[in-house]
Every structure is written in structure tokens, then in C-alpha cells.
Amino acid sequence: MASMDRVTFRATMAQISVPATSANIGPGFDSLGIALDLRDHYAAQILDDATFDVDVTGEGAEELKKDKNHLVIKAMMKGFEFMGAKPRGIALRALNNTPHGRGLGSSSSAIVGGLALARALVLGGDELLPNEDLLVLATELEGHPDNVAAALLGGATIAWMESSIVNGVEQNVGRAVRIHVDERIKAIAFIPEAHLATSKARKLLPETVPHRDAVLNTSHAALLVHALSERPDLLFAATEDHLHQIYRAEAMPKSSALLAKLRAAGVAATISGAGPTVLVLHTGSEQDADDIIHAAGAGFSAKKLAISTQGVA
């Protein structure tokens, strides 16, 4: 953590954009993530007055808090604290394009965006809060590193927790590496109207799973890394999951039915994060994507999305 006398705030506004993300991608529970080219935009400036001026437009605008309890503000303050800074006030403008409560990483966007804004508003912020430390802070706020890693680094990411000494105390911290995604791979997100809180989805998971299911997921998660980077023809097999999706089906029956329908047709479909969005990865043409959307039927808003090669920027 930086000392207070090293910190100088920038007088100008900082602007940041963060991609939506999809975690798990089938078998990579709490470890694999991918960034999608659907971006939230944030702008912030330090104020002389002790006030938090927050304005939000787009997704979730009516539900989100517009004060110091806004998640972007909370993340900014955590970043400032790490760098040894303490602003009197902050003006924040947010344009949200990522749907909330749908398994597309809206909270990770806010967390990574807030930390990146704090870094951008401090002179020398890149040195005071490098990506490695930003990921640790983001993981603390989010509770797991999969979405925040993809939001930070872009592309596809492998994230994990490891023991590390922080300020003289041993604790588990988030780590991640970025992996190359084959440029032929594109995504379709089938987004329902229904919301599902991640906390609720996690409560549906059992304490133990059959050994054969654990083995299946281990092998498929390893295969998925190869499929994403070099062999997209293996995506259908690589995205098969027996660890979490079946246990959450009761909380999202329409999404689970669509997942089963698409996979029965040989489409590499997964539940995005905790759901209820269904994510498809494919290498087909625009017509192929349209055919998949048509086959899915009604009840979902379908978005064709590129894989975002850029994380927070």
C-alpha cells in the first residue's frame, strides 16, 4: 500500500469501459471466464466537496443506489485506500449495457471499472495499483476471481485462488492468466427477462458430487482451454458440464430447457455464470447464427457478440 504523501489526484475526468463476461463456460466452475464485446462505460472525477454525485443510465438504472453505496464507488474507494488516497468526493457517470442479474458479470464490471477508475485518477496509479494487485482487490469484493479476471484481462482467462502473504498476513488471493482465443470463435447470448441472484444459485449446489462427475469436469475443463485457443471444433465436447448446471436447473427451468434443446442439436451451449443467460460459442457464419437463434424459439433476447480481446480500458 502506498503512503499518503506519494498520492496526487488528477484534476481531469477519467473514462473507463469494461466488457461483460461469462464465467464457467460449462465445466470450468469458478475458474474459466471469457470477455464479451458488450461494454459498460464509466466516467469519474474527483470533487473538492464531500459529496458523491452519481448518475446511472441504461441497465439497472432504476434499481441501483446513486450514492456512496453504488458498487463502482465502493470499488473506487477500495482502490484509493490501497494507494493511500482519500478523496473528499467523487462524481460518477455510468452507462450500463450489461444486463443485471443474468450471469453476464455486471457486478464484476462495476468492481473492475471502479478500481480502474481509481487507478486512472491518481498520478502514477499504474505503478501504485498494478493489475496483479487490482485482481486481488477485485476478488475480495466479488468473492471469486473468474468474472473479474476476464473483465480485467479480456479474452479468455484461467483464474484460481492461492495462499499469499499480504501485509504480513497469510490469505487466499485471486490470480489469473489470459489465454488466446481462436479468432473464429463468436458468441450468442440468450438473455431472459428473469433475474437470478448468484447467491441464490450457489445455495443450490451440493456439498459433494460423484467422483465420476468430478473426473468428467476436470478432463473437459482441460480440453476447453485447448478448444478455445486452437481447436474450436472441440467446443461442443469441451463445454459439457456435470458439476453445477444440473443442480441449478430448478431455479431457471426455461434456460435449462433451452440449454438441453441446443445441446441436443450439437450446439456448444452453456449456462452463463450463475445464469439464467444461455451462452453459445460457435464458429459459423451469420446465417448459422441466425439459424441457431431461430431454433431457440421465443422467450429470450438473443445478442450476437464477438469475444472481447480487450479487458478494462
Residue-range domain boundaries for the chain:
4-179, 186-306
Measured CA to CA, the distance from residue 149 to residue 160 in angstroms comes to 10
Distances from the Cα of 185 to the Cα of 78, 231, 277, angstroms: 36, 10, 19
Are 39 and 95 in contact by the 8 Å Cβ rule? The answer is no
CATH architecture assigned to 4-179: 2-Layer Sandwich (3.30)
**pLDDT at position 4:** 45
**pLDDT at position 87:** 95
User: Which residues have CB under 8 Å from 296's CB, separation 6+?
Assistant: 190, 258, 261, 262, 278, 302
Measured CA to CA, the distance from residue 182 to residue 223 in angstroms comes to 14
Q: Which amino acid is at 136?
A: V
Residue 81, exposed/middle/buried by CB under 10 A (0-12, 13-18, 19+)? middle
- According to CATH, the topology of domain 186-306 is Alpha-Beta Plaits (3.30.70)
Chain mean position to CA 284: 25
Measured CA to CA, the distance from residue 147 to residue 41 in angstroms comes to 17
Are 52 and 67 in contact by the 8 Å Cβ rule? The answer is yes
Q: Which amino acid is at 131?
A: N
Closest CA to 242 of 14, 1, 29: 29
Kindly state the DSSP code that residue 193 receives in the 8-state scheme: S
Splitting the chain (313 residues) into consecutive groups of 10 residues, what average pLDDT does each group show?
A: 67 97 96 98 96 95 92 98 95 97 96 98 97 97 96 98 84 95 98 85 89 95 98 98 93 95 97 96 97 93 97 97
Other Cβ atoms closer than 10 A to 259: 24
Predicted TM-score (pTM) of the model is 0.94
**pLDDT at position 7:** 87
Return the ∠ at Cα 156 (arms to 153 and 159), rounded to 5°: 75
**pLDDT at position 170:** 86
